[in-house]
């Protein structure tokens, strides 16, 4: 990495690290949305985060188009699919956003809410077809990336993961969203003896934890979650290694029939490189409420503290950033 940086310096240009700029975007969203923690108003949580994120994105040196957002533009304040963000400078990138991953968590004052942004080269991020809202998922770290198969039974996948980890199945921890649709999966996990961590929301964070080599609280993410969250998780996993596999999951027979009529292959397996094809991927997240991955925003009279994570696929670097944000300096307001 040092040799790479020296090469850029000798050529008279220094490579920009877009992920560093994205951290300011997620910090802004977290600082704004965090004011609504525990106040029970999901709409204001979203609006505060979106407004701050949109303003911060406008100052980033990029020509971005949102491909993972909140659907087509409507009367809501959300960052919408197709929206142009950034100041129009190079590079041209796809942008995936989740201003608050865990809106309900934040509105109730529960742990684990994040502000998340990712970018990749233009045209390389998977855009779910209209009407696709959920995906079945399995995500693991680098040592297990070549052994999982989303079509295999739960017991087979857990046995393969345990062997790759050189451990026993009852050493493993599986993270699953606590939903009625997962009752049979939970039963199968328990039957083979693995441990389970149930989460109420926020499977982007859980997928990242499952993929991180230096995080041993989670070994695998399994179950059905949001399709946009699958792409955001894939962007992070593209940076740190590991693997995520996904399949489109219809919510009912009517949705299944509609998707089949539209020619969507429900048996196709989308892997990390299908969800994010680019090789220059940047990912950033800032904690809003404290969770397993990141600490939440802390407010003080003088300002606030935030904790963020940023990643880059080109170098594989993962940085944790603790920042102090002052509201005023020398009697003047400060632009965070």
Residue ranges at the known binding site for Mn(2+): 46, 70, 98, 101, 229
Q: CA 94 → CA 118, 168, 176, 280, 334, distances in Å?
A: 8, 41, 29, 11, 30
For 114-177, the DSSP string reads: EEEEEEEETT-B--PPTT--EEEEEEE-GGGTTT--TTS-HHHHHHHHHHHHTS-GGG-EEEEE
Closest C-alpha to 234, from 280, 190, 274? 274
Could you give the CA distance from residue 80 to residue 72 in angstroms, rounded to a whole number? 5
For 305-326, the DSSP string reads: EEEEEEEETTT--EEEEEEEEE
Residues annotated within the binding site for substrate are 101-103, 134, 179-181, 201-203, 226
Could you give the CA distance from residue 306 to residue 299 in angstroms, rounded to a whole number? 9
CA Rg value for the chain = 20
212 contacts: CB under 8 Å, gap ≥ 6: 141, 240, 242, 318
Could you give the CA distance from residue 42 to residue 105 in angstroms, rounded to a whole number? 9
CA dihedral over 175, 179, 184, 187, signed as positive or negative: positive
* Residue 107 near residue 79, CB atoms below 8 Å: no
| Residue whose pair of structure tokens reads 């142009």 in the numeric block | 84
Helix axes 154-165, 183-192, angle to 10 degrees: 50
Closest C-alpha to 26, from 114, 145, 149, 127? 114
Residues annotated within the binding site are 46, 70, 98, 101-103, 134, 179-181, 201-203, 226, 229
Q: CA 202 → CA 55, 74, 148, 184, 249, distances in Å?
A: 24, 25, 22, 21, 18
Could you give the CA distance from residue 248 to residue 227 in angstroms, rounded to a whole number? 8
């Amino acid at each position: 990495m040092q040799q790479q940086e020296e090469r850029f310096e000798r050529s008279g240009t220094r490579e920009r690290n877009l992920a560093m700029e994205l951290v300011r975007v997620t910090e802004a969203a977290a600082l704004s949305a965090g004011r609504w923690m525990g106040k029970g108003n999901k709409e204001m949580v979203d609006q505060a985060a979106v407004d701050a994120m949109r303003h911060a994105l406008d100052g980033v040196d990029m020509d971005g188009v949102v491909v993972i957002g909140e659907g087509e533009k409507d009367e809501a304040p959300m960052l919408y699919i197709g929206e142009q963000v950034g100041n129009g400078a190079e590079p041209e990138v796809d942008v995936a956003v989740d201003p608050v991953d865990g809106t309900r968590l934040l509105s109730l004052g529960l742990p684990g809410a994040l502000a998340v942004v990712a970018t990749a080269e233009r045209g390389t991020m998977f855009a779910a077809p209209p009407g696709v809202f959920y995906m079945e998922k399995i995500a693991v770290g680098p040592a297990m990336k070549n052994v999982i198969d989303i079509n295999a039974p739960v017991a087979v996948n857990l046995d393969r993961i345990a062997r790759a980890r050189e451990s026993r199945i009852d050493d493993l921890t599986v993270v699953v969203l606590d939903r009625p649709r997962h009752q049979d999966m939970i039963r199968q996990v328990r039957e083979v003896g693995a441990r389970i961590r149930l989460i109420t929301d926020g499977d982007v964070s859980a997928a990242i934890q499952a993929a991180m080599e230096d995080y041993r609280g989670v070994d695998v993410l399994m179950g059905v979650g949001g399709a946009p969250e699958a792409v955001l998780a894939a962007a992070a996993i593209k940076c740190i290694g590991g693997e995520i596999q996904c399949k489109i999951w219809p919510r009912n027979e009517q949705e299944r029939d509609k998707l089949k009529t539209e020619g969507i292959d429900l048996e196709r397996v989308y892997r990390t490189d299908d969800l994010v094809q680019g090789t220059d991927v940047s990912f950033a997240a800032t904690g809003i409420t404290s969770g397993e991955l990141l600490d939440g925003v802390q407010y003080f009279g003088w300002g606030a503290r935030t904790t963020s994570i940023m990643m880059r696929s080109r170098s594989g670097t993962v940085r944790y950033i603790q920042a102090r944000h002052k509201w005023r300096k020398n009697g003047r307001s400060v632009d965070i």
